[in-house]
């Protein structure tokens, strides 16, 4: 029984790591490739989660949606919705320095949170949307967890392969050229604004997909699941710790930070009740401190961005 519990916990953790890894890959397209500071990850995550929930749940009284569609359509819808939200923000903010995008993306996340909390007709308000179908859930509990892990991993691997290919393709080289020297890229005739917008939208779409996978795993989505600061911040620290600009680093960072985050929760859950509440905030403080330490002592992260941008030459490059 104890053993089964452990396996179950490991499965649970692996699914979460894979979902977060998708979010981090999305952020890596935005920040690692294109140098765009998105501080509203939770917003795109939420848009994806709710869009897929509305598309795939059964009809319910008091709110629109309940189209009872296949989950694949829900997930595609989640990506499209997140991309559509990203488009106008990117369109307005990307011609300025990244600071403006940071502020505007915080704003968009806050407004999405407001919409979720105050539009029951769309999101069922504070109660959230229950009954989101999980693929392969009609088999046993453990089997269904394994099945979902396989689905999530398949999505993650597909996303990784696509992103990695783009990274080594001319598109990726161009993005990094724009990031590192905008003027030079412009002089080479690259449409800097359009390319940045492209990266921002692709990243947002992946974040939306991550949100959808999360909602379907939980079988429900409520406003509490989307803490604007924590959700955004965990993804950032995952990318910075793992190594921005490196897709494998992004996935590694997701695993390391999620393991630290959830193991520290187990540790603090054992504290007496009066300290347990404060322990939650101490964990947040330590996560913030971790970012400062990484920025100071290992800004390149665990797996640095490969030199010349080619993963195949990463080993030679690391010896410098």
Partner 1 sequence: MDLFELLNFYVIPGIVLGSIYALGAVGITLIFAILRYAHLAHGDLATLGAFIALAVVTTLGVSPLAALPVAIIATAAVAVGIDKVFYDHLRERPKIVTVMASLGIALMIRAVVQVVWGVDTETYSRGIVRPENYFGLRIRDREIYTVIAMLALVGVLHMFLTQSKWGKAMRAMSDNPNLALLSGIDNRKVVILTWVIAGGLCAASGFFLGLNTELKSMMGWHMLLPMFAAAILGGVGRVEGAVLGGLIVGIAEELSVLVIPSEYKAAMAFAILLFMLLVRPTGLLKGKVL
Binding residues vs partner 1 (CB under 8 A)? 35, 37, 39, 89, 92-93, 96-100, 102-104, 106-108, 110-111, 114, 117-118, 229, 233, 236-237, 240, 278, 281-282, 284-285, 287-289, 291-292, 295-296, 299
Please give the Cα distance from 51 to 207 (Å, whole number). 12
CA distances from 133 to 51, 58, 220 (A): 13, 9, 9
Q: State the Cα–Cα distance between residues 232 and 27, nearest whole angstrom.
A: 10
Q: Minimum CB separation from partner 1 for residue 169, in Å?
A: 25
Nearer to partner 1, 37 or 160 (CB): 37
Residue 320: exposed, middle, or buried by beta-carbon count in 10 A (0-12, 13-18, 19+)? exposed
Residue 98 or residue 222: which is nearer to partner 1 going by CB?
98
CB of 41 or CB of 151, closer to partner 1: 41
Q: How many CA atoms lie within 13 A of 80 on its CB side?
A: 9
| CB 90, min distance to partner 1, A | 12
> CB of 108: closest distance to partner 1 in angstroms?
7
Q: Which is nearer to partner 1, 27 or 201 (CB)?
A: 27
Spatial distance between the Cα atoms of 300 and 179, rounded to a whole number of angstroms:
16
Give 79 or 101: the residue with its C-beta nearer to partner 1.
101
- Residue 2 sits at φ, ψ, to 5 deg, of -60, -40
Question: H helices within 69-191, ranges in order?
Answer: 71-93, 98-118, 120-123, 141-168, 170-180, 182-187
Q: Give Cα separations from 255 to 213, 242, 262 (angstroms).
A: 17, 9, 11
- CB atoms under 10 Å from CB of 108, counted, come to 22
Nearer to partner 1, 35 or 208 (CB): 35
**Shortest CB 96 distance to partner 1, Å:** 7
Q: 29 vs 39, which CB is nearer to partner 1?
A: 39
Q: How far apart are CA 85 and CA 199, in angstroms?
A: 14
- Residue 132's nearest CA partner among 268, 28, 225 is 225
- How far from 231 is each of 14, 16, 188, 237, CA to CA, in Å? 17, 12, 38, 10
Query: Minimum Å distance from CB 283 to partner 1?
Result: 8
What is the smallest separation between the CB atom of 298 and partner 1, expressed in angstroms? 13
Backbone region of residue 57 per phi and psi (left: phi > 0; alpha: psi in -120 to 50; beta: other values): beta
293 versus 318: smaller Cβ distance to partner 1: 293
In whole angstroms, the minimum distance from the beta carbon of 124 to partner 1 comes to 15
Residue 271, token pair as written in the block: 């504290």
Smallest distance from partner 1 to CB 230, Å: 8
């Amino acid at each position: 029984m104890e053993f089964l519990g452990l396996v179950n916990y490991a499965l649970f953790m692996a699914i979460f790591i894979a979902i977060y890894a998708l979010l981090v890959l999305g952020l890596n397209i935005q920040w690692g490739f294109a140098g765009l500071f998105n501080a509203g990850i939770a917003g795109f995550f939420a848009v994806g989660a709710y869009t897929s929930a509305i598309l795939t749940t059964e009809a319910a009284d008091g709110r629109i949606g309940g189209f009872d569609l296949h989950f694949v359509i829900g997930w595609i819808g989640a990506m499209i919705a997140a991309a559509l939200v990203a488009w106008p923000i990117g369109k307005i903010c990307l011609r300025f320095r990244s600071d403006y995008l940071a502020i505007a993306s915080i704003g968009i996340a806050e407004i999405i949170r407001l919409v979720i909390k105050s539009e029951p007709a769309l999101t069922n308000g504070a109660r959230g949307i229950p009954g989101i179908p999980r693929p392969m859930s009609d088999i046993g509990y453990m089997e269904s967890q394994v099945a979902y892990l396989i689905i999530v991993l398949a999505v993650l691997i597909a996303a990784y392969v696509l992103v990695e290919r783009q990274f080594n393709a001319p598109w990726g080289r161009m993005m990094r050229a724009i990031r590192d020297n905008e003027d030079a890229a412009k002089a080479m005739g690259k449409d800097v604004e359009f390319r940045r917008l492209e990266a921002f939208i692709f990243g947002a779409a992946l974040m939306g997909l991550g949100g959808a996978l999360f909602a379907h795993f939980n079988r429900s989505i409520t406003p509490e699941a989307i803490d604007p600061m924590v959700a955004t911040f965990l993804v950032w620290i995952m990318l910075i710790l793992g190594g921005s600009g490196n897709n494998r680093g992004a996935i590694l960072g997701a695993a390391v930070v999620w393991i630290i985050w959830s193991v520290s929760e187990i540790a603090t859950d054992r504290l007496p009740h009066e300290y347990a509440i404060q322990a939650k905030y101490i964990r947040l403080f330590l996560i913030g401190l971790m970012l400062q330490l990484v920025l100071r002592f290992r800004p390149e992260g665990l797996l640095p961005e490969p030199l010349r941008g080619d993963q195949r030459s990463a080993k030679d490059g690391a010896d410098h």
